[in-house]
Amino acid sequence: MNVPILPLVFREGPMIHRTLGVLGLLLAATQTAFGIEWRNDPVPPLTGDEAAFIEDGLDDKEVETLLAAFVDRAEKAYTGRARMPEGFLEWLAGQPALRTAFWLALVPGADDPIAAVRVLDTLRREDAEAVETYFHLAVAISVVWDAPRNVMMSQRICIFGVGPDQFSKPPGYLWTFRYFTEKKRQRSFLFKIEDLVWPIAVYIANFDVSEEESEWALRRMGRYRNSVGSTYAMVEYDHGKRNGQSTKLGSRPYTLANLLEYGGVCGDQAHFCSRVAKCLGIPAMKASGLSRYGGAGHAFVCYFVWKKRRPILESTGRYFNDFYYTGNVFDPQIGTRILDRTVAMMLDGASLSYEKYIQARTLARIATHVYAQRPEVSLNLAKKAVTTNHFCGTGWRVLMRHVNEGHVPPEEGLEWGNKMIRYLEDHPDLTHECFETFLGCIPREDVKQRQKFYERVADVYEERPDLQLLLREAQGKELIEAGKEKDALRVLLKACAEHGKEGRLIMPLITPAVEILDREKKYVIAFSRPLDKMIMRFPKRRMNRISASFQDLARMIIPLYEAVGKQRDADKLRRRAGL
């Protein structure tokens, strides 16, 4: 299917409710179409000579030259802010791979370059040889521990009902580096630490369990390194805590051993599993989201495993019957929530070829910076970024914006859009991110043409009902704005009937549909079949509780049934919803 795709502003994932901890509410970040990474970039993007030869395109050798020059400018920009530790720059100059990785890893607006330098220099003074051997780990620790608050936040996210004095004090970055580089201990790890490039290693660098806990985990849980996902269920579920009663843990220290003995809820299970994984050298993170039933939310774990000779992202405790299509994870470097799908795409890019991934990332960074001043240069950089490494999200966003604004011929734009869908078949969230802006190319008055594209793109997301429903929601709202309310009802209610089992996810479609039905009661009878099918398929109970989302649905539908004389159906729905 030929579907043209262009850029769209990033949508945050599900909200974090009380069960996932108060900290979750503090972690939302607004992201632009270019992403959070390259705002207020202090590094000069290009020289005049570089811009001139980029206008004619870039070959691989020119990319290497451009990258080396950019690293030099980054070092100058960052080191000009403060006096560098004695001998640091001279030592760094003798480690070209480490130097490149370090300066390019720093994220403007998120990392503190001077603090990161201090961390790396402290590691160097402690054991320069180990830093040179495990330089990816050293870089990851530097860009995480430049802001220790991020380590604290990643420790406490998804957890509630625990006092601040119950948590273990993180052991610090020096001990973290020693822990992962000690040869004897490495024999217990699943991954070779030297094989974890820094974008992956940041998910062990935020090491927040005490020294005693980590040694306990090695002794007690080491045999689970090839099945670390099974440790999630080892923490017995504390139903009293879930119901707001006293917890079995009480005021005892919040340690891995105590969680195993006294239990907890999903956030505690996720903490236990993800921290055991880190102790075994496995990058891991707590994740959170809302199920189809609505209500408080749920925490699970994402972690890396080897498959087909490279790492991929797995999850445990996700309960796919609850339809957690995406989860929010905490990025310990930039200190905010991102989608687990974003981590999976990074993992694909970095594990396929770290060198190409970093080249693409830097090209996209420069393309973002020069977009307004030198659009033709930005366009060539974006093209080179996505062909160098297909999993460069920022590169695709920049390129698609060029297509949207007419910087390439329509036929070429269509070709790039189709390439993106093909290359990112396993990462549809990015392609969906780009669809709305593409529609901006078609006048809103041309309702028929826009609706055609909605129908065509919906087929692309056949295996992602969550994305299909987002698409149908936008499609229905456009039809309402165009005065085609009956057509809007047809789109919205058909989607709700087809995907009724998705529960909470269909609620944003039901709301505008009910508003129309409330104004035009005649449509209630006309659309009674999809309404009935939707109610039949909607999940009504989870465990022994009536679904909160089902109750919300019933409150909207019951008045409609009563208004058109369907009192029997209204009473039946009221009883089933426990209202």
Whether the predicted pLDDT of 420 surpasses 80: yes
Q: Which residue do the tokens 């560098």 mark? A: 84
Q: What's the CA gap between 460 and 449, in Å, rounded? A: 18
What's the distance, CA 237 to chain centroid? 27
- For residue 1, pLDDT over 70 is answered with no
Q: Among 220, 141, 222, which residue's Cα sits nearest to residue 184?
A: 222
Work out the burial of residue 19: count CB atoms within 10 Å of its CB; fewer than 13 is exposed, 13-18 middle, 19 or more buried: buried
pLDDT digits (tens, 9 = 90+) for 436-459: 766 766 778 889 888 988 888 888
Please name the residues in contact with 498: beta carbons below 8 A apart, sequence gap of 6 or more: none
Residue 394 has a pLDDT of: 93
How far is the first Cα of the chain from the last one, in angstroms, to the nearest whole number?
Answer: 46
Tokens 């580089």, residue located: 181
Cβ(531)–Cβ(510) below 8 Å: no
Domain containing 225 equals 18-355
Whether the CA torsion 269, 270, 275, 277 is positive or negative: it is: positive
The answer to whether residue 404 scores a pLDDT higher than 50 is yes
Position 526: which residue type? Answer: A
174 pLDDT tier (thresholds 50, 70, 90): very high
CA distances to 167, 227, 350, 360, 575 from 311, rounded to whole Å, are 31, 15, 10, 20, 50
Express each pLDDT in 499-514 by its tens digit. Answer: 999 888 999 999 999 9
Contact in structure between 259 and 235 (CB atoms under 8 Å) = yes
How many domains does the chain divide into? 1
Does the residue 98 lie in any domain?
Answer: yes
Of the candidate ranges 125-139, 208-222, 424-438, the one whose mean pLDDT is the lowest: 424-438
Give the largest Cα separation in the chain, rounded. 84
Inside any domain, residue 109: yes
| Residue 378 pLDDT greater than 90, yes or no | yes
Mean per-residue pLDDT for 235-256? 93
Is residue 175's pLDDT more than 80?
Answer: yes
In a domain, 499, yes or no: no
Question: How far apart are alpha carbons 516 and 523 in whole angstroms?
Answer: 8
Round to whole Å and give the CA distance between 356 and 362: 10
In this prediction, residue 271 carries a pLDDT of 97
Secondary structure (DSSP) of 552-567: HHHHHHHHHHHHTT-H
User: Residue written as tokens 């295996």?
Assistant: 463
Name the average pLDDT for the chain: 88
User: Is-contact 138 110, C-beta < 8 A?
Assistant: no
Residue 48 lies in a domain: yes
Does the structure show a pLDDT above 80 at 250? yes
Q: Is the pLDDT of residue 361 over 60?
A: yes
pLDDT at 82: 87
Cα 370 from Cα 536, distance rounded (Å): 54
Is the residue at 195 inside a domain? yes
* CB contact burial 359-384 (16+ within 10 A = b; e otherwise): bbbbbbbbbbbbbeebeebbbbbbbb
- Does residue 199 fall inside a structural domain? yes
Residue-wise DSSP of 254-274: B-HHHHHHH-B-HHHHHHHHH
Highest-pLDDT range among 308-317, 367-376, 424-433: 367-376
Number of Cβ within 10 Å of residue 275's Cβ equals 26
In this structure, how many other beta carbons lie within 10 angstroms of the beta carbon of residue 505?
24
For 2-60, write each residue's pLDDT tens digit.
333 322 222 222 222 333 333 332 233 223 333 445 668 999 999 988 988 898 888 99
pLDDT tens, residue by residue, 62-112: 999 999 999 999 999 999 888 999 999 999 999 999 999 999 999 998 999
In the chain, % of residues over pLDDT 70: 91
Interatomic CA distance for residues 201 and 141, integer angstroms:
8
Of 39-53, 107-121, 411-425, the one with minimum mean pLDDT is 411-425
Is the pLDDT score of 429 beyond 70? yes
Question: Which amino acid type is present at position 283?
Answer: P
Tens digits of residue pLDDT in 203-224: 999 999 999 999 999 999 999 9
54-82 b/e (C-beta count within 10 Å ≥ 16 → b): beeebeeeebeebbeebbebbbebbbeee
Q: Alpha helix (H) ranges present in 45-87? A: 48-54, 60-79
Residue 342 lies in a domain: yes
Residue 469 in any domain: the answer is: no
